[in-house]
Amino acid sequence: MGIRLSNFCMISALLWEASCALALNNPLPVRLDGAMVHYNGAYYALDGVSNGVMLRSGNLVDWREPIRVLPETVARPYELFYRNGLFHLYAQGQGYASAAHPLEPFSDLQKTGLSGNEMRMYQDSGGMLFSVNRRAGSKKEGEIWLQRYSKPWKAYGKPDQLLDGRRGMWDSLDSADLGEPEVVAYRGNYYLLYAANNPGPRTGLREVGVAVNENPLKFDNTDKRSDPVLRRNADRLSYIYKTILPTGEFMPWRGRYTTIPPEGDWMRSGYKYSKWRTGDGGFGSPDEVNGAQLHACRTKWDKGEYLWVRREFDLRHEIPETPVLNIRHEGAVQVFINGVKVYESAEPAVAYSNFDISEDCNGVFNPEENVIAVRVRVPEDAPVRFIDFGLFDAEELPVEPTVYGLTAPRLIHGPNGFEKWMLYQAWWNGKPGTGLDRVFFYDKELVVDGPTTAVSPGYHPAPVPPTFSDTFPSGEQIDWAERWMFSGGKWMSVDGAMRQSAPVGKAKAYLKQEPRMNYLFETGIRFPASGKGDVGVVAWSDGESDLIVSINPAKRTWSYHIEPGGLVPKKFKLPRTFRLLEKPPGMDGADAPLQRLRVTRNGTRFDVKLNGIDLLPGKPLMTKITRPGVPGFYCGNSEAEFDGVTYTVGWDEHDQFISGWGGAADGTRPSGEWRMHKALGLEQRTHSETGRLFKGDLLNQYEFTVNVRLEEMEEGKNRTYGIFPVFADRKNYLKAMIDTRARELVVTGKLDGREIKPVHRKLRTKVVHRHLYDKSTAYRNVTSWVYGLRSESVISSMDIRWLEGEFEHLRQEFLIPGDDMVIKYAKLDRGEQPNLWEDGRFYEADEPGPRVQKAGIFNPVRFRPLVGNYIGFGFYIPGSIVIDSRTGEYKRGYTPGESLGSNEAIGDGSSESDTMSRPQETVITLEVESSYFFRCVKLEDRVLIELNGRPMVEVEGRWPASQVGLVTEGQPAFYNGMMLYHIPGE
């Protein structure tokens, strides 16, 4: 529900400065196509530059081993899909191929008649197989369609249209062309991602949106979220940096230009003009690229190699502390400020780009009479000419490169099996690349922590490795025996796998790790060709008893039991979509492939997946196992090979599947009145006492995330709620509490029995929302905008930046609202997109008269704090605002139709249709919210705490191995969407 600005206060940027060294250095060192699979402990992706080349990575960041798997003539884009141990590659629009291993040559392309392009294949946890892809609609603009499949190479049924571009939404400002879809299922929902607006970097509007539905076959436009989930960072930077000179991207600016070589010191202030013309920036031609309008191209420059531009300005306040040149140019360019060269490039910057020019600007600026002078050179026959530039002051913030043209999202699990990451294509300072950023779920709301750069403030570490992994490297004969403990059978590391070669009897291999209560364990299994016997995993062992989960391919069954004795073996049929060996067209016979078996333990509950298919859909294996244990391998009267082991301590839970919370490891008892809700998670109900629950294995390093919300905002009462990010015992803990009355996050605790100094952080934050017309008003006159908040919140202000100029795709020119219009502000209570005029509870601004609105900047609107789930504003002829004839002040509380007496009316009191104005972005200031997503990271020497993606606190200290906890003090609250995973040491 909108993006959060990261520099809510300067403290945050400085607070996390030490963490920036851990940041991902986006873009990645290589460009990837986006087609990717995770297999046997490694990632495989097609190269984004050379056709048909496969790359390999163990951590999603470092890519190597380029190997050609397709002829060079088979061009991108591709899709790569793994199912039942085989790899399926789609050269979109050309054909289908398959292979037994991603680094082997794929089969010859088969013409299978698969429809659509920009295709993504997906198998859900029930085994249903389908693709989402782009298809050209009746107007040749991209639409998102779904196609079902019986096999990866065989479609069935007719395709269904899901989404298209609708004028009036953020996703069709310059084009209704949707594309590059991706789909994922998580926590009971399907998330359909898509890229929208023209894909080129020059237009600058390509971003990634999401639609959410419980059924992938029922997506439609009403499921779209009102804001993109991955958006260009230029809007955020233009707000957090101080704007000295805006570029033509947001508003026209007046400058002098010439195509005739100027005489004299043309780059200095005080220059005498001769034959220079006046025009609005930016300058260039053509004014559209690939059918999409270049909105910033305001003055035509269509001839000649050179253009000289001068922009004069005064610094009315203070000299920039960290001047940043924001520029987009075709061809070579030189930039001077008051005669001093501050930037030069022989290469174009096809998207707006940021450059730190502070070193070259020492002593350059004057309080008055400054000039930026630019010379641009393009080839005489250049198809595109353009120059536009502006100036920011980053002050104490880092100078970040811009990120534009975001497209091709791909969601994938991280190496530890818990984290989720988005891979995407974009342009960093006008250069193409591939980005990788973390994806969070605030309960069930998908949020992307990006796009990030190497200097983005905050904690953005690389993907976390698992607690333990093993690929049994060839030639290693001793080390693997130190990692595993064996019972029965004949075990040996052969050809990069762990082989058990005894065909009779039981054989087990246990992981040599500390016993744990919560973990994920996954391994690849190569079943014998006969498929006879039982092969699987030891899901849990405490050294005395084992919980066995095994597969019998010959009988097409799977089972679980405890041995010795205990549980009677329970058998189930394997999913009908499981195949021990598939035979795709064009592929010769292959050896038995590796099948993926995953077991997750969450206290007494176990979940089992085979090749991504849930073997107990909606009905986890509930046991009475309350002791910690370790997992391992299992063979019963069968040979087998095991490879690609991933083991991570942790858990992931939501809704009615939350379990294992209770007393702490040190004996601290739980308290409060807790109950489970099917869709709301864990609730603490009582006002009268402190509520406490604890969970988790004792770990030195981990990340813990949870969404906490109140049923309603109760700001004035002395009640707090939050979590224990760290709880080792009563002498070693941290407590992070939301104080709604003080509007603060308060962190307290003890280390070695000594209280730490309490930390107080204000909860005030800003969220950014795009303009939105719903489907009922997209083609009609619109006078109001309503923004849904993530939760009921205390709202104190809005800042509005208006669209400006002609948008050909929308067949409309947008103007800044006139001075004779006022904007009326309202809160709206719960409801489904309420109507502002019918449902709004109006609150006047402190001065509710007409306000002058300016182009290119955020226009502030301040009003008395109010509580609501929605905030809206609309244009209004100010008849409901009157002036007291005695005092000349605005009179509040007037109702249209009421007798004015001697007071003077201003207008007729009616709403005004004005489709000539539309907000581009609205920044809403929230003092406190009723729902917070906690992210807590415990490292060896410090603890980091974030709220709703906003860095809040970094506390230094070496707390011992700890659990986490939930805590309320007089405040009922709901806790849902909880995840914790171990972070291994160096």
Distance CA 468, CA 462 (A): 17
What is the enclosing helix (H) or strand (E) of 76?
none
Distance CA 465, CA 460 (A): 15
Distance CA 120, CA 88 (A): 12
Q: Which residues pair with 651 in a beta bridge?
A: 980
Q: Is the same domain home to 646 and 502?
A: yes
For the record, the structure tokens of 266 come out as 């043309």
If 0-12 CB within 10 Å is exposed, 13-18 middle and 19+ buried, where does residue 593 land?
buried
In the block, tokens 């069709």 appear at 172
Q: Is the same domain home to 678 and 562?
A: no
Q: Is the same domain home to 619 and 698?
A: no
Cβ atoms 741, 947 nearer than 8 A = no
Pairing of strands 306-313, 253-258: antiparallel
Domain that holds residue 348: 242-393
Identify the CATH number of the domain in which residue 696 sits: 2.60.120.560
Q: Hey, is 19 helix, strand or coil?
A: helix
Whether 706 is covered by a domain: the verdict is yes
Whether 455 is covered by a domain: the verdict is no
> Low-confidence residues of the chain, pLDDT below 50?
6-21, 774-782, 830-849, 877-885, 887-897, 900, 903-914
Cβ atoms 592, 529 nearer than 8 A = yes
Whether 701 is covered by a domain: the verdict is yes
The string of DSSP codes covering 477-491 is: -SHHHHHEEEESS-E
Q: Is the same domain home to 525 and 618?
A: yes
Q: Where does a domain end: 653, 670, 685?
A: 653
Q: Is the same domain home to 266 and 379?
A: yes
In the block, tokens 């744990």 appear at 516
Q: Is the same domain home to 581 and 665?
A: no
Q: Is the same domain home to 544 and 629?
A: yes
Q: Is the dihedral of CA 325, 328, 331, 337 positive or negative?
A: negative
The number of distinct structural domains making up the chain is 3
Structure confidence at residue 775 (pLDDT): 38
Non-local CB neighbours of 20 within 8 Å, separated by 6+ positions: 398, 454, 455, 456, 457, 458
Structure confidence at residue 569 (pLDDT): 83
Q: On the CB side of 966, how many CA atoms lie within 13 Å of its CA? A: 29
Distance CA 696, CA 687 (A): 26
Closest-CA residue to 610 (of 594, 590, 623, 622): 594
Q: Is the same domain home to 663 and 630?
A: no
Structure confidence at residue 877 (pLDDT): 44
Distance CA 143, CA 195 (A): 11
Whether 451 is covered by a domain: the verdict is no
In the block, tokens 């070693």 appear at 732
Q: Where does a domain end: 635, 653, 671?
A: 653
Cβ atoms 464, 985 nearer than 8 A = no
The string of DSSP codes covering 823-879 is: EEEEEE-SSSS--HHHH-EE--BSS-S-----SSSPEEEEEEEEEEEEEEEEEE-TT
Whether 756 is covered by a domain: the verdict is no
Cβ atoms 869, 711 nearer than 8 A = no
Q: Is the same domain home to 298 and 362?
A: yes
Whether 780 is covered by a domain: the verdict is no
Q: Is the same domain home to 588 and 552?
A: yes
Q: Is the same domain home to 648 and 511?
A: yes
Q: Is the same domain home to 528 and 618?
A: yes
Structure confidence at residue 823 (pLDDT): 58
Which amino acid type is present at position 620?
A: P
Q: Where does a domain end: 653, 686, 720?
A: 653
Distance CA 658, CA 679 (A): 11
Distance CA 227, CA 770 (A): 6
Whether 203 is covered by a domain: the verdict is no
Whether 754 is covered by a domain: the verdict is no
